[in-house]
Structure 1
Amino acid sequence: MSRGTQAVVLVFLGGAILRASLTDLYLRYVKQGLRPFLIAAGLLLVITALVALVQEVRHLNRPEGQPDDDDGHGHGRSGPAVGWLLLLPALALVFVVPPALGADTVTRAGSALTDDRDIAFPPLPPGDPAELSLLEYGYRAVYDHGRTLQGRRVQLTGFLAPGPDDEPMLARIMLSCCAADGIPVKVGLRGDMPEGPANTWVRTTGRWIPHTAKDPINDADLPYFHVETWEKIPAPADPYE
Structure 2
Amino acid sequence: MNRAAQNFVLLLIGAAVLKIALDGTFLRYVRPGLHPYLVASGVVLVLLAAVAIVRDIRGREEHDHHSGRSQWLLLAPITALLIVVPPALGASSVQSGATTQAAIAGPASGGKVRFAPLPAGEAPTIRMYDLIDRAAYDSSGELDRREITVLGFVIRTDEDGSARTDGSRGGFDLARVVITCCVADAQTLRIHLGGAIDSLPDDTWVSVRGKVVPDSATPANNMTPTLTVTRLQTIPAPARVYG
TM-score between the two structures when normalised by the length of structure 2: 0.82
Cα separation, partners in 2 of 1:27 and 1:39, compared to 1, 3 Å: same
Gaps of 5+ in 1: 61-67, 69-75
Inter-partner Cα distance in structure 2 for 1:23 and 1:41: 15
**Alignment of 1:228 onto 2:230:** yes
Over the aligned positions, Cα root-mean-square deviation in angstroms equals 2.5
Amino acid at match of 1:226: T
Say if 2:150 and 2:208, in contact at 8 Å, map to a contact too: yes
Query: How many Å apart are 1:226 and its aligned residue?
Result: 1.1
Identical positions, percent: 36
Aligned counterpart for 1:189 among listed residues 190, 193, 199: 193
Aligned counterpart for 2:156 among listed residues 139, 144, 162: 162
Inter-partner Cα distance in structure 2 for 1:49 and 1:12: 9
3-state DSSP class of the match of 1:188?
A: strand
TM-score between the two structures when normalised by the length of structure 1: 0.83
Cα separation, partners in 2 of 1:113 and 1:210, compared to 1, 3 Å: farther
Between Structure 1 and Structure 2, the one with more strand by share is: 1
Cα separation, partners in 2 of 1:168 and 1:44, compared to 1, 3 Å: same
Which has the higher mean CA deviation after the structures are superposed, 81-90 or 225-234?
81-90
Query: How many Å apart are 1:166 and its aligned residue?
Result: 1.9
Which is higher, the Rg of structure 1 or of structure 2?
A: 1
3-state DSSP class of the match of 1:177?
A: coil
Inter-partner Cα distance in structure 2 for 1:2 and 1:157: 50
Say if 1:122 and 1:148, in contact at 8 Å, map to a contact too: no
Cα separation, partners in 2 of 1:214 and 1:121, compared to 1, 3 Å: closer
Counterpart residue number, 1:120: 114
Counterpart residue number, 1:63: none
Cα separation, partners in 2 of 1:27 and 1:194, compared to 1, 3 Å: farther
Counterpart residue number, 1:171: 175
Task: Give the number of aligned pairs.
Answer: 225
Counterpart residue number, 1:111: 101
Query: How many Å apart are 1:206 and its aligned residue?
Result: 1.2
Inter-partner Cα distance in structure 2 for 1:90 and 1:215: 44
Amino acid at match of 1:8: F
**Alignment of 1:58 onto 2:58:** yes
Q: Summarize deviations over 1:42-97 as a string: whole Å, max 9, x none.
A: 1111010011012112212xxxxxxx8xxxxxxx8449778645523422311222
Counterpart residue number, 1:131: 125
3-state DSSP class of the match of 2:194?
A: strand
Amino acid at match of 2:87: P
Counterpart residue number, 1:93: 81
Amino acid at match of 1:193: I
